[in-house]
Amino acid sequence: MNVIKSRFVYHLMAIITVAIWGTTFVSTKILIQHGLSPSDIFFYRFTLAYLCMWCISYKKLFANRIKDELLLLLAGLCGGTIYFITENTALGITLASNVSLIVCTSPVLTTLLSYLFRRKEPFTRHLVYGSIMALIGVGLVVFNGSFILKINPLGDILSLTAALMWAFYCLILKQLDNHYSIVFITRKVFFYGVLTILPMFLFRPLNWDNVLMMQPIVFGNLLFLGFVASMLCFIAWNACVKELGAVKSTNYIYIVPLVTLLTSAVIINEKITWIALTGCFLILCGVYLAERKTNPTFEAKS
């Protein structure tokens, strides 16, 4: 019974985490409207998150092995710099619906990569069917009744890159979580995320406007992105991946468009159609189906 309760807590934690991530587009959009670039926003949110993490995790500086340190570097690069920059840049050159739909393929990519490279996580019929059902639901939610797909090759490639990077990030976590604490891994991810974004400022200098930064709306949104959406959510997410596995945890990413749909309706008065509501239903059913415990149909060999 305690094990069941414990796993329920992690499932709930995953839902809350992706729900928060589903609202971050509002904060990012506000900050961009105030003159900050995607790289500026990423640098400030990850720097703030790193400083907060340093307050609770400062004794251990490096991993036990060079290989693990390199994996932490890759985690910061994949789940931090490349993911956020490609996703936010894509939003500037293609439709948001395209970006949302393509990025939400990360659970499918995680499932495939996990099976191909690790061959340890169960690959069940319910997982496959649930993922497909949720992905169809994502498509309905994203388009929300507007089935006009405008292809922008560069924007769509960047979106797919973001989805692929998040899948790799989750798999990298599984290589490290048995050897290091969640807070240590999370702190190192933030550190390497900040470190690997610095070369970009050689081409576009960091926006360091003190007057702008002290505006309540800017400071407040950066605080939300850095402390809540980055520090707290990354700790929670990394813990979920450790407990539930990369595949099951990443399946909750499908809920992000659902949250985005609801927050858009409340904050910016976007219309919700019956097609979008059908998509919400499919997402919830798909996630439930994917999370059901059954004997694997194609169980990977350990």
As a whole number of angstroms, the longest Cα–Cα distance in the chain is 59
pLDDT in tens, 223-265: 999 999 989 998 888 888 888 877 677 777 777 766 766 766 6
User: Quick one: average pLDDT of 190-211?
Assistant: 90
Average pLDDT, the chain: 77
C-alpha 89/C-alpha 97 separation (Å) is 14
* Residue 291 pLDDT: 58
pLDDT in tens, 253-297: 777 766 766 766 666 565 666 776 776 677 667 766 765 554 443
Contacts of 291 (CB under 8 A, 6+ apart): 11, 130, 248, 251
- Beta bridge partners, 51, equal none
Cβ–Cβ < 8 Å for 138, 104: yes
In the block, residue with structure tokens 């720097």: 47
* Residue 287 pLDDT: 64
* Residue 300 pLDDT: 35
pLDDT above 90: residue 82: yes
pLDDT above 80: residue 17: yes
Contacts of 202 (CB under 8 A, 6+ apart): none
| pTM for the structure as a whole | 0.75
pLDDT in tens, 135-170: 677 666 656 555 544 555 677 678 778 888 988 888
In the block, residue with structure tokens 């990298």: 172
Mark 208-221 as b/e (b = at least 16 C-beta within 10 Å): eeeeeeeeeebeeb
pLDDT above 90: residue 197: yes
List alpha helices for 224-273, DSSP H.
233-244, 246-251, 255-267
Domain map (residue ranges) of the chain: 11-102+153-270
